[in-house]
Structure 1
């Protein structure tokens, strides 16, 4: 892989963090986070099931894939409880739509052989932007022996144009700096809507994608600064609140003592 797997010390852009940024614009405070999968919403749980199911399915020999329904594999990974969904109806509606759409997609992909990359995380350096990119490639197929013949696929739960654009541009930049060429084709499947978005990178694609990634880098840096500022201000505000509460308690204690002294009156000595 061009530039190797080692990181340069530049800021690192993770594709999954950028996706979460688009879906959750307001940063979640550490105190609001739940650890591990306990804090996942229904979309994250479904995405997890899709990822593992396709990893298992596309990892099979082509002859086996043609005999095994993808729904069977998906069932093994699908969330067993509906408590993270909006309702029981929502749970079954999402399951039926995702299962049906995956069945159609996998039938269309039966002419593809073994993927050259399957749910792997890769790193590469983009020196001119002074940034590292981390990209999870869900499935990549080599359509010919040429370096620029890669078909890269992404499977999303639902349609989000910002997430799709980010994936498109990150993939263009990543492939160029990691493999020396743009991909031949990028496909994004949005399963709940039954939508497929295709990109055919052209001669101007690389510069457009570099500009986009440069903007992403700046946006992430701004968000990190804002988060740190808010965290600092939050701590300062908490300290100030605690100090004000302590001052108020001392003031009330002094007033109570003064009131007690006035109620007793002067002490008479015999």
Structure 2
């Protein structure tokens, strides 16, 4: 496990890139993309604020954290302008919902003391799949002395089942190869929806997660090949015509694998 990019020579799977792949399946041409935060949408701006606020909040001494409202910390990081939001009303509505949900979550998690990992990026090789995984761990807590006692938490702006399943399987594979054991518990908080998705890894979880990550690796390669092509209407039409049969077969294959993977589904708590 390393706090840096891969040095193994394997292809590198970044968790945040895979999340973007699910959220925006159509690649954006470099000439259309704005650099830095200037091109962020409202979800990205909210996620940035939430990430920094929780990093600061959970990084406090336990005694201090219990006296400081998380809303106070969030206020320091929240966007000062409504740029990127649908309207001023939307800006305030999102702020109130996120602030209220974070307050409830932190109140429920008061028994968690000092995180063992807090907004750190790690990379670990997965020789079995000939790939490296780069994972940002937002918050991890050790529930007991064993290596298999980790509680891994993720905080998302809104509910997206594909992003959640990707995080679940990446986390399982990452923990197995980095620490030699699956986590005890994975929790994903969806702030705008007020949902908590909880995964308790079982005996079959590792193989299911390896299958899923292998599928992600192959899908990522397909996306990279597609992005490298010209995406004008004429070229895209010609490419669709050439690849129609192959794409159909791959889609059916992928749907079959997804149905198998979904046999280990999430447990939802409101």
Query: Quick check: 2:6–2:132 contact (8 Å CA) kept in 1?
Result: no
Cα shift at 1:5: 7.3
Q: Which residue pairs with 2:134 in the alignment? A: 134
Asked if 1:204 corresponds to 2:204, the answer is yes
Q: Which residue pairs with 1:243 in the alignment? A: none
- 1:176-195 aligned at under 5 Å gives the runs 176-195=176-195
Q: Which residue pairs with 2:216 in the alignment? A: 216
SS in 1 for 2:158: coil
Measured against aligned partners, the alpha-carbon deviations of 1:34-69 in whole angstroms (never above 9, x if no partner) come to: 010000000000000000000000000111111000
Where structure 2 has 5 or more consecutive residues not aligned to the other structure, the ranges are 237-270
Distance 1:211 1:87, change over 3 A: same
Aligned partners of 2:61, 2:7: CA distance in 1, in Å? Answer: 34
Query: Quick check: 1:185–1:198 contact (8 Å CA) kept in 2?
Result: yes
Higher helix share: 1
List structure 1 runs of 4+ shifted beyond 6 angstroms. none
Query: Quick check: 2:5–2:134 contact (8 Å CA) kept in 1?
Result: no
Query: Quick check: 1:121–1:136 contact (8 Å CA) kept in 2?
Result: yes
Cα shift at 1:109: 1.2
Measured against aligned partners, the alpha-carbon deviations of 1:163-219 in whole angstroms (never above 9, x if no partner) come to: 000000000000000000000000000000000000000000000000000000000
Q: Which residue pairs with 1:50 in the alignment? A: 50
Aligned partners of 1:200, 1:207: CA distance in 2, in Å? Answer: 15
Aligned partners of 2:87, 2:5: CA distance in 1, in Å? Answer: 44
Q: Which residue pairs with 1:160 in the alignment? A: 160
Cα shift at 1:83: 1.9
Measured against aligned partners, the alpha-carbon deviations of 1:113-167 in whole angstroms (never above 9, x if no partner) come to: 1100000000000001010000000000000010000000000000000000000
Query: Quick check: 1:42–1:85 contact (8 Å CA) kept in 2?
Result: yes
Q: Which residue pairs with 1:41 in the alignment? A: 41
Query: Quick check: 1:62–1:110 contact (8 Å CA) kept in 2?
Result: no
Q: Which residue pairs with 1:61 in the alignment? A: 61
Cα shift at 1:6: 4.9
Distance 1:90 1:220, change over 3 A: same
Distance 1:35 1:125, change over 3 A: same
Aligned partners of 1:84, 1:46: CA distance in 2, in Å? Answer: 10
- 1:77-96 aligned at under 5 Å gives the runs 77-96=77-96
Query: Quick check: 1:7–1:132 contact (8 Å CA) kept in 2?
Result: no
Cα shift at 1:108: 1.1
Cα shift at 1:227: 1.1
Query: Quick check: 1:57–1:65 contact (8 Å CA) kept in 2?
Result: yes
Aligned partners of 2:139, 2:157: CA distance in 1, in Å? Answer: 16
**Which protein shows a greater Rg?**
1
Q: Which residue pairs with 2:102 in the alignment? A: 102
Aligned partners of 2:102, 2:213: CA distance in 1, in Å? Answer: 30
Query: Quick check: 2:118–2:138 contact (8 Å CA) kept in 1?
Result: yes
SS in 1 for 2:50: helix
Query: Quick check: 1:7–1:124 contact (8 Å CA) kept in 2?
Result: no
CA RMSD of aligned residues (A): 1.8
Query: Quick check: 1:7–1:125 contact (8 Å CA) kept in 2?
Result: no
Distance 1:168 1:76, change over 3 A: same
